[in-house]
């Protein structure tokens, strides 16, 4: 195990973590909670082995469940089960270099500069964008997991959470059929296994095909997620109520710069030791 976690949160971020995530201000109490979670996972007879046992990794799961040990444990177990049970997907996660071109196309990437008005990070998702084959759906989910894992390296992201914008322009019938086959499993990972806080989910340019697939996958969505879902259509004004258009590209009604996918491609691939590391 690497060295112990040392809290370097700013006073403002610490205040938010205490108020919203029930995080202990005392680092010894924080470390004790991490140790309890680690020991419990290692001692339970679940046939799973921690992929990482360091403090930073385990702290993510405590934060996302507001330091409720039972709920953090459930998410941690789910994370490891998914890695074991959906091998086809996690083979892509473990080695994304063969589909670098899809990553570079930019079907999914966070805003490099700018946050939502509530301080959350902004993730832009364009399902179907740059897709060339039916296998790209699984690769797309792999890019999602890789992106979330990369963002989770930042404590600010763990504490603030994220606002998601899904541009459904490229979401056609073929895409809908692919989503119908894997949508339930993808939602399970996002909702039950990844230590992330989705504070707002915004759909734009959604059409009739989306209505069809939503009728299928909504049965697997948590009520909290449904409550945070907003359909904007092509009315970007309501989207701009959440995010200043100065940060958004033109295709989202913004006046900000075009999306530059190179930096995020390098961020993802650098995690695998194959990219040029660039600062977030």
Q: Pick the last residue of a domain from 85, 120, 141.
A: 85
Q: Pick the last residue of a domain from 85, 110, 126.
A: 85
**73 and 178 part of one domain:** no
DSSP H stretches of helix in the chain: 11-21, 27-43, 55-64, 69-85, 87-94, 100-105, 136-151, 155-160, 173-188, 208-217, 223-227, 236-240, 262-270
* Residue 133 within any structural domain of the chain: yes
Among 133, 225, 231, 140, CA closest to 182: 140
**137 and 28 part of one domain:** no
**56 and 159 part of one domain:** no
Enter the pTM of the model: 0.93
Among 201, 192, 120, CA closest to 162: 120
Which two structure tokens, joined as six digits, stand for 213?
Answer: 């697939």
* Residue 1 within any structural domain of the chain: no
Q: Which residue has the higher pLDDT, 111 or 183?
A: 111
Q: Tell me the residue range of the domain where 171 lies.
A: 101-270
* Residue 65 within any structural domain of the chain: yes
User: Do 174 and 138 meet the contact criterion of CB atoms below 8 Å apart?
Assistant: no
* Residue 76 within any structural domain of the chain: yes
What pLDDT does 211 receive? 79
The pLDDT tens digits of the residues spanning 201-256 come to 999 998 777 777 787 788 888 999 999 999 999 989 999 999 999 999 999 999 99
* Residue 179 within any structural domain of the chain: yes
Q: Which residue has the higher pLDDT, 74 or 172?
A: 74
* Residue 280 within any structural domain of the chain: no
Terminal alpha carbon distance of the chain = 26
**130 and 75 part of one domain:** no
**175 and 258 part of one domain:** yes
Q: Pick the last residue of a domain from 51, 85, 119.
A: 85
Confidence of residue 274 (pLDDT cuts 50, 70, 90): low
pLDDT at residue 278 greater than cutoff 70? no
> Looking at residue 76, which CATH number applies to its domain?
1.10.8.20
**140 and 265 part of one domain:** yes
Q: How many domains does the chain have?
A: 2
**81 and 106 part of one domain:** no
* Residue 144 within any structural domain of the chain: yes
User: Do 182 and 137 meet the contact criterion of CB atoms below 8 Å apart?
Assistant: yes
The pLDDT tens digits of the residues spanning 10-50 come to 999 999 999 999 999 999 999 999 999 999 999 998 889 99
**127 and 202 part of one domain:** yes
The pLDDT tens digits of the residues spanning 65-121 come to 999 999 999 999 999 999 999 999 999 999 999 999 999 999 999 999 899 999 999
**74 and 198 part of one domain:** no
* Residue 175 within any structural domain of the chain: yes
What pLDDT does 57 receive? 98
pLDDT at residue 154 greater than cutoff 80? yes
């Amino acid at each position: 195990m690497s060295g112990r976690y040392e809290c370097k949160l700013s006073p403002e971020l610490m205040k938010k973590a205490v108020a919203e995530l029930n995080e202990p201000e005392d680092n010894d109490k924080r470390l004790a909670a991490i140790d309890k979670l680690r020991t419990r996972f290692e001692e339970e007879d679940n046939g799973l082995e921690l992929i990482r046992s360091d403090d930073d990794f385990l702290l993510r799961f405590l934060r996302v469940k507001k330091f409720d040990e039972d709920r953090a444990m459930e998410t941690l177990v789910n994370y490891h089960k998914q890695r074991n049970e959906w091998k086809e997907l996690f083979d892509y996660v473990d080695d994304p270099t063969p589909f670098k071109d899809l990553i570079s196309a930019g079907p999914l990437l966070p805003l490099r500069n700018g946050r939502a008005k509530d301080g959350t990070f902004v993730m832009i998702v364009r399902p179907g964008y740059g897709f060339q084959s039916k296998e790209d759906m699984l690769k797309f989910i792999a890019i999602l997991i890789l992106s979330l894992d990369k963002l989770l390296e930042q404590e600010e992201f763990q504490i603030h959470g994220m606002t998601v914008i899904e541009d459904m322009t490229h979401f056609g019938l073929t895409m809908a059929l692919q989503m119908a086959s894997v949508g339930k499993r993808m939602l399970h990972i996002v909702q039950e296994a990844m230590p992330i806080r989705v504070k707002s989910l915004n759909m734009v340019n959604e059409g009739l095909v989306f209505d069809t697939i939503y009728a299928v996958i909504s049965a697997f969505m948590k009520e909290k997620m449904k409550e945070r879902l907003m359909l904007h259509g092509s009315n970007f004004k309501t989207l701009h109520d959440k995010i200043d258009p100065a940060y958004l590209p033109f295709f989202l009604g913004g006046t900000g710069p075009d999306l530059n996918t190179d930096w995020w491609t390098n961020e993802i691939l650098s995690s695998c030791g194959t990219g040029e590391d660039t600062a977030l």
